[in-house]
Amino acid sequence: MYSNPMGLLRQKAAKGHVVHAYLFLGSSDLIKNANQLAMALNCMDLNADGNACGVCISCYKITTGSHPDIYTLKPDGSSMKIQQVREMQKHLAYKIYEGKYKVIILEEADKLTLQGANSLLKILEEPMPQTVFILLAASQREIPDTIISRCQRIYFGEEAGQHDCLENIKILEDVFSEDLERTLSLIEKLEREDKEHLKQRINGLMVLIRDLLVLKSTKEDKLINISHLSNSSLEKSAVSHDELVKILEKLYESLKDLDSNANKRLLLENLFLTIKRISQ
Ligand SMILES: [Zn+2]
């Protein structure tokens, strides 16, 4: 169910939809994925899906760590220090040598010292053209909020599944609650997500509703999201089996409407206010 986010990222990169800072979070393959994005941004022979060819001179140099426009920063000992950030900043002043994008990869970005983080923040606050930062960390816990808020967060591996699941549970809790304000601010927040993410989100909500249906009817304990679900208020909600089926149908309908270029705001209002009405 939870696909690797790299596919979507590469497709977007191929269309030139690139943000200036990403934060890759999770426990697996972060460096490999960062290199893949750097390749997709600089490959000279991208295929239709936005995949780097892997063999052009740019891909070759990135794979071998010798591309002059890709700059990697690693902790020096136990931390990443302000001097290192300053060194990197010097590199930013150079023109792009041969790539399309300058890519700065910060491995273990959670090991930035406070001074280092402040210095990085100043750099992130003034986005430079054709320059992309990719911060990597197992967890965002040690990264200052000010930096997190400048980055698009991408979750990998188990982290991705868990993160999505918990977010989706939170969404349903907001919608099932009696509080209209919570639902309205949720709609406002989701409206800012792009269509591909919304589709994934709606898909995730459908999985969750299916799990709830099974839980209601069989008490089955082998569900995809079971451990998270049983810790949430959803399991105890009074929404009936028939109501859950209606909600599932409504989600499916919205998924199709999203494909046919419906107005996002209207669609989200219609979807979540309908679910709210069904669940009350
Ligand atoms: Zn290539």
Same domain, 180 and 90: no
Amino acid in position 229: L
Count of C-beta atoms within a 10 Å radius of residue 131: 18
CATH of the domain at 76: 3.40.50.300
Global model pTM greater than 0.95:
no
Cβ atoms of 235 and 229 closer than 8 Å: yes
Ligand 1: centre distance to CA 44 (Å): 5
Q: Which of 118, 138, 155 is the last residue of a domain?
A: 155
Instruction: Measure the CA–CA gap between 129 and 190, rounded to whole angstroms.
Output: 28
Ligand 1: centre distance to CA 200 (Å): 28
Ligand 1: centre distance to CA 263 (Å): 37
Same domain, 103 and 213: no
Q: Which of 123, 140, 155 is the last residue of a domain?
A: 155
**H-run or E-run covering 123:** helix 114-125
Residue 125 lies inside a defined structural domain of this protein: yes
Same domain, 166 and 140: no
Residue 1 lies inside a defined structural domain of this protein: no
Same domain, 151 and 164: no
What pLDDT score was predicted for residue 44?
Answer: 93
Ligand 1: centre distance to CA 46 (Å): 6
Neighbours of ion ligand 1 (CB under 5 A): 43, 52-53, 56, 59
Quick one: which of 5, 9, 105 has its CA closest to 62? Answer: 105
Structural domain including 122 reads 6-155
Residue 148 lies inside a defined structural domain of this protein: yes
Distances in Å between the Cα of 141 and the Cα atoms of 5, 105, 231, 243 are 21, 19, 22, 38
Ligand 1: centre distance to CA 244 (Å): 47
What total of structural domains would you count in the chain?
A: 2
CATH of the domain at 264: 1.20.272
Instruction: Per residue of the chain (280 residues), give pLDDT as tens.
Output: 345 688 878 878 877 889 999 999 987 789 999 999 999 999 999 887 778 999 999 999 999 999 999 999 999 999 999 999 999 999 999 888 888 999 999 999 999 999 999 999 999 999 899 999 999 998 888 899 899 989 998 888 776 677 778 888 899 999 998 899 999 999 998 998 888 888 888 998 998 898 888 777 765 555 555 556 766 777 777 788 899 999 999 999 999 998 887 899 999 999 999 999 998 8
Amino acid in position 227: S
Ligand 1: centre distance to CA 149 (Å): 31
Ligand 1: centre distance to CA 153 (Å): 25
Token reading at 91: 């590199």
Ligand 1: centre distance to CA 33 (Å): 15
Instruction: Measure the CA–CA gap between 29 and 138, rounded to whole angstroms.
Output: 10
Distances in Å between the Cα of 240 and the Cα atoms of 14, 137, 247 are 45, 41, 11
Instruction: Measure the CA–CA gap between 157 and 183, rounded to whole angstroms.
Output: 29
Same domain, 38 and 84: yes
Beta strands across the sheet bearing 102-106 = 70-73, 102-106, 131-137, 21-25, 152-155
Same domain, 205 and 268: yes
Ligand 1: centre distance to CA 55 (Å): 5
Count of C-beta atoms within a 10 Å radius of residue 56: 16
Same domain, 178 and 253: yes
Same domain, 169 and 150: no
Same domain, 170 and 267: yes
Q: Which of 91, 125, 155 is the last residue of a domain?
A: 155
- For the chain, the distance separating the N- and C-terminal CA atoms, rounded to the nearest angstrom, is 29
Query: Positive or negative CA dihedral for 156, 158, 159, 163?
Result: positive
Cβ atoms of 5 and 154 closer than 8 Å: yes
